Amino acid sequence: MQNKVYNYSAGPAVLPQEVLAKIQTELFNYEGMGMSVMEISHRSKPCIALFDETEALLRKLMGISEQYSVLFMQGGARLQFAAVPLNLFGQNRKADYIHTGSWTKYAIAEANKAGQAVIVASGEEDGFCKIPDLSEMKVSDDADYIYLCTNNTIEGTAIRPTQIPVTPLPLVADMSSNILSEEYDVEQFGLIFAGAQKNMGIAGVTVVVIRNDLLERSPKNIADMLNYKLMHSKQSMLNTPPVFAVYVLNKVLKWVEENGGVAQMAVRNKEKAALLYDFIDNSSLYQNNIEDSDRSLMNVIFNLPDAEEDTRFAKEAEKNGLMFLKGHRDVGGIRASIYNAAPIEQVQALIEFMKKYEAGR
C-alpha cells in the first residue's frame, strides 16, 4: 500500500492539491498587498473585487442568470433550514417537503417551528434506500414552496438532474454535498443553497442562489442575519463576512473552470463512482443496498457483514492512509466521499485496499 494519505471525509472534505498550493503561495501576501487575505478589510477594494469575481465565477459555472441573486451567508447549510421558511413563508405558513433522509428531517423540524411542513413524498418506508417516485407526488394547493435535498450524504442517495420535479411552486434545493458535481438547470429552482465545505471549499461560507422575486418575501420581523432581502441589499456584507472562506471558494471555482467546468466534473464523477460501485456489486464481502438509479456520485455507502467488522475495516484502512471512512454515527457502515477534488487514484487506492482486506480474511 502506498504511503499517500487520502481523505474520504464527508466534510470538511478533500480540496484540490493545486488549490492548497496556491493558497500556500499567497497566504502572506495577497494581491501584492503585503498582508494575508485573512487580514484585509472587507470594505477594501481588493476584498470587494474578490467577492464580485467569486460571484461571477459561480454564475458562469452554474449558468445563473440575472433573474437570480447570489448571497454569501454564514451559519452553514443547517442555518438555512430555518432561514428558508422564515423568508419564504407567506400567509399560509405552509410548505411541501420531499423527505429523503437525515438532512430533510432536520429541515422539516425547523420549518415546523415557523409553520407547517407537509411531507408529500418520503423514502422512509424503504429505509431511505431509494428516492420516492416524484412523478406521483401531489403538492399542496396552498403551499408556499416545495423543498428537497439533491444529495443525501448519510444515506448515499441523490436526486439527479433528470429527476427534478416540475412544479408551479418555487422549488428550494439543499445542494450542499453535490453542487458543481453535475449540471442542474438553475431555472428549475426558486432557491438553491449549499455549504462550501464539501464541494466548494471550507466551512464558513454558505452560498445562496435566490430568484429575485422571492427576495420580496423576506419579512422585516426576522433576524437581520437571516434576511435574504437585507443581505442582498448589503452585498452579503451586513457584518464582517467570512473573507478567507470566500477566498478559498474563489480558488476552487477557478480550479473547476480550469478543469473543464461542471460538465467535465460530471464525467469524472460518474467514472469514479461507477468504478467503486462496480467493485462493490461484484464483491462477496461488501454490500450496497441503494437503488442503482438513486446512488449518490459523491458519497458511496457500503457495509461489511456486521458492525464489528465495519469498525475493523475502517481502522485498518486508516493505518494504510485511507482516512475517515467510518460511516455516519446514525447509520454506521462505511462511507467513501469522493467529491470533485478526489482524483480517480483515490478511488483506485480504496479498491486496492478493499481487495487486500477481502483476500486476507
Structural domain spans, the chain: 26-258, 259-359
What pLDDT sits at residue 340?
98
Type and span of the H or E element at 94: strand 94-99
57-86 average pLDDT score:
98
Cβ(52)–Cβ(72) below 8 Å: no
Give percent of the chain with pLDDT exceeding 90: 93
Cβ(266)–Cβ(281) below 8 Å: no
Q: Is it true that the peptide bond before 46 is cis, omega within 30 degrees of 0?
A: no
pLDDT per residue as tens digits for the range 251-283: 999 999 999 999 999 999 999 999 999 999 999
pLDDT per residue as tens digits for the range 136-182: 899 999 999 999 999 999 999 999 999 999 999 999 999 999 999 99
203-212 average pLDDT score:
98
Q: What is the band of 331 on the pLDDT scale with cuts at 50, 70, 90?
A: confident
The overall average pLDDT reported for the chain is: 96
Cβ(174)–Cβ(76) below 8 Å: no
Cβ(192)–Cβ(150) below 8 Å: no
Strands 146-149 and 334-337: unpaired
Q: What is the band of 3 on the pLDDT scale with cuts at 50, 70, 90?
A: low
Q: The domain 26-258 is classified under which CATH number: 3.90.1150.10, 3.40.640.10, 1.20.120.530, 3.90.1010.10?
A: 3.40.640.10
Cβ(191)–Cβ(208) below 8 Å: yes
Cβ(137)–Cβ(98) below 8 Å: yes
Rounded Cα distance, 222 and 42, in Å? 25
Rounded Cα distance, 289 and 285, in Å? 13
Rounded Cα distance, 45 and 145, in Å? 38
Strands 157-158 and 151-152: antiparallel
Topology, domain 259-359: Aspartate Aminotransferase, domain 1 (3.90.1150)
Which amino acid appears at position 151 of this protein? Answer: N
Task: Please determine, for residue 2, whether its predicted confidence score (pLDDT) is greater than 50.
Answer: no
What pLDDT sits at residue 1?
38
Task: Please determine, for residue 46, whether its predicted confidence score (pLDDT) is greater than 90.
Answer: no
113-140 average pLDDT score:
94
219-228 average pLDDT score:
97
Rounded Cα distance, 108 and 128, in Å? 16
> Which residues form the catalytic set?
103, 174, 198
